[in-house]
Amino acid sequence: MLALLAQMASVPGSPAANAERAAAALAAHPDVEIAVFPELFLGGYELARLADSARPADCAELRTIAEAAEAVSTAVAVGFAERNTDGTFSNSVACIDRDGSLAAVYRKTQLFGAEREAFRAGDALVVVRLAGLAVALLVCFDVEFPEPARQLARAGAELLVTVSANMEPFGPDHELATRARALENRLPHVYVNGVGTIGGLQLVGLSRSVGPSGDVLAQAGAEEELLVALVARPGTDDERVDYLRHLPDPLDIIGGNV
């Protein structure tokens, strides 16, 4: 499988402009099977602008992306600020299959810093079929915890996809976490981060495709880049280190909280 790692800077507060840029990126790469855009790409990672930039999942801007996806038969994962019916916001990922249908919406469960005041945390993980694969979604801070990825792997995920707006000084954290989540679950991992300065934050890029042995198959730099990368197959040739087959049973702890 080929993936488009759309490491793009958002036009702040301009969902329509960002949707058109995403559509153009899809049209320019008709041979990829899945395209991934950064966290909150549709309106930009500016929490102060949520009232203006948040959109419902059935918005015109996501339909623009869906129509472009259908035209080239490419599945898409794109981050957006979701306006909920109760007036709250979610840090969400629209999962659009290659026929242009909205297959699922994942809402970030592990909110970071000021996000806890701006967003309502999601209460469920998501595995969705995109481009014929069981794809598991994570958003930025989610990837720094082993538990969500492990739950998704145990639920049958074949590919981890993380959309991110990771900023200085946390680039090394995600370099390690993206590889670790792949290795410990023996799953390929597509990680797409934002770039540029937005909302006072410097996003660090370094989007990558990681194989199930934790090896980096392709990586972007720190500037805008539309990187076409190979997505590996899940699993390992060595059953001894197929970790999902050898998960330990829960053990009692002696001497905890001493």
Q: Which is catalytic among the residues 46, 82, 108, 115?
A: 108
| Three-class secondary structure of residue 132 per DSSP | coil
pTM score, two decimals? 0.97
| Span 155-209, pLDDT tens digits | 999 999 999 999 999 999 999 999 999 999 999 999 999 999 987 899 999 999 9
| Predicted pLDDT at 257 | 79
How many whole angstroms separate alpha carbon 86 and alpha carbon 222? 38
| Predicted pLDDT at 96 | 98
Residue ranges of the chain whose pLDDT lies below 70: none
Going along the chain from its start, the domains and CATH numbers come out as 2-235 (3.60.110.10)
Q: Which is catalytic among the residues 39, 46, 61, 158?
A: 39
Judge whether 140 counts as a catalytic residue.
Answer: yes
Judge whether 108 counts as a catalytic residue.
Answer: yes
| Predicted pLDDT at 64 | 98
Which residue's entry shows tokens 């996806």? Answer: 69
| Predicted pLDDT at 228 | 98
How many whole angstroms separate alpha carbon 123 and alpha carbon 129? 20
Q: Which is catalytic among the residues 59, 82, 95, 140?
A: 140
Burial 150-177 (b: 16+ CB within 10 A, else e): bebbeeebbbbbbbbbbbeebbeebbeb
